[in-house]
Chain A
């Protein structure tokens, strides 16, 4: 993991004291809410339905056990005993008091954490593949580049007041687990014909009220030019992006308006004019950052672990969990474990202080003291010995963390929705809980196979509904909650935006509608098809007929 130097520590300490002073002046009445609001937002502090909400940055989703324990402590001491992991790989606390916020930032600074770049029209926390560094199909570890982007973008004076917020995601694997296509910039590392590693640069993706998939503006950018090329993109956006209308201010609108080819030309022209050696990282600095992401000291193990396979035969529940929540690791004898934060009836992404502390302990015991947050609101232990999997699974079970559903229908993304969020039109969480209960039967979930449901409580789409295999969007109809359903969205390397299936469903009808969709799929799927495959083969019509035919 990246560790702060003296300079980083000093910046954070100063920042905490600045914010303490700003809060003090606000409470004393020396500054108005209009003056204070941008200052608190720059420190991740929002005002929501029941209290202030603090969004804490988790750069590219990486946490040490020490940091996770601090997050647990904050949940217990300053919140109501829990936190919510988000689709941005961050954590939010929903019951924060303004007067305590500086103390919380002080606590975070002790473990090299903060809430910078979690709000405002700046380059936000860069997100990454949660299997970074360990995926068997990976070409290069994207975290090194995420950290480089973080250091370049934090407090970047030219890009602190962009037309709108700006999100970058990076992956080093061909299989996209980081939803690149719905980011302002998606960076995919791959090799060119000569075997050199570089980035495919995709620009202009995003969800919200105008969903768009990012388009490739440069198929291959040699690695050393990343920062100067990003700077060129941001300069073009900063100059030409719209500032007159918040709904048209994201880079996707600009790319859509001028076209990807013209946008690429503008970026290329800016890049040729402005690039200079100052933005080419010296090899020594790259190596310094790279060293922070050295893989842990793995043991040399045989590729097969007979005791692990024996346990799978002995214990069906364990076998089921292994099938869904354990992924292939590049190191022989090791595995990647997805820890589901979607237990039956639970709140997607929520973890109690006790669960966070348990995860910190478990990570220390089984995975070199490191935990990752996924954009699908789960946690990952990236370095578990296959021989330890059974014991790990038992330990997770003690803390309600052993749900065997990663990638299945109950592994739902849900934004906080109207239960917490002042932007929301409808609740998301109770809908996800109801779907979770309806499909709780593990046999049925296994039969349905991979199916990603994503729920947002408003058109801002924090719950990624546009790219859900089944997407659910909460809307307000005269004070009543309704839900619009989309089908066929996808956030991976075959990215697609979902198609609206028809008129919205009332709150108490939405779970039945999902059930009907699943039932329709099971009835028409061909052997070996996943939901998305079937949908792509047959389209909306069969689902429409079943859902609305009787009307």
Chain B
């Protein structure tokens, strides 16, 4: 079954964030809640919608991941770049802050 996370951009600065346990938003993909199945994913997105109403994030959506060594890894190039930073600037973005690929 497909594993999914919920991601968005933070309202104040536009930073890429992931929905973490207890409704927190983290800049680290590793912190994201990973769910399986339509019901769980829809419920997770529902939690995110509350954060939209609370002016925390903008435009949340579900994204597919795979689990490697227990950590979520993006399945598309786009989500990989969002989770790391521009591929042409390894010195910028999350990748520069020592986050896992």
Contacts and interface: CB of A to CB of B under 8 A. Distances in A.
A245 B87 CA distance: 34
A510 interface: no
B12 A49 contact: no
B13 A29 contact: no
A419 B58 contact: no
Contacts of A49: 16, 78, 81-82
A99 B13 contact: yes
A52 B75 CA distance: 24
Contacts of B76: 479
A74 to B, nearest CB: 16
A27 B81 contact: no
A500 B95 CA distance: 37
A-B pairs with lowest CB-CB distance, top 8? A51-B14, A419-B86, A97-B13, A479-B76, A52-B14, A29-B55, A429-B88, A99-B12
Interface string B20-51: 00000000000000000000000000000000
A427 B85 CA distance: 13
Residue among A26, A48, A49, A98 with most chain B CB within 10 A: A49
Contact of B88 (A28, A95, A99, A347): A347
Interface of B: 9, 11-16, 52, 54-55, 58-59, 75-78, 81-82, 85-89, 92-93
A457 B88 CA distance: 14
Interface residues of A, number: 30
A347 B77 CA distance: 19
Q: Chain A's interface: helix, strand, loop or mixed, by majority? A: mixed
A28 B55 contact: yes
B75 A479 contact: yes
Interface of A: 26-29, 33, 47-52, 80, 95-99, 347, 418-420, 424, 426-427, 429-430, 433, 479-481
23 contacts: A26-B55, A29-B54, A33-B11, A47-B58, A48-B14, A49-B16, A49-B78, A50-B14, A50-B82, A50-B85, A50-B93, A99-B12, A99-B13, A418-B78, A418-B81, A419-B86, A424-B78, A426-B77, A429-B88, A430-B87, A430-B88, A479-B77, A480-B77
A33 B59 contact: yes
A249 to B, nearest CB: 23
Given A96-B14, A98-B14, A418 B77 contact: yes
Contacts of A26: 11, 55
A25 B81 CA distance: 31
Given A419-B87, A479-B75, 11 more contacts: A26-B55, A47-B58, A50-B14, A50-B86, A50-B93, A52-B14, A419-B81, A427-B88, A429-B88, A430-B87, A479-B76
B94 to A, nearest CB: 8
A539 to B, nearest CB: 34
Given A96-B14, A98-B11, A27 B88 contact: no
A29 B82 CA distance: 26
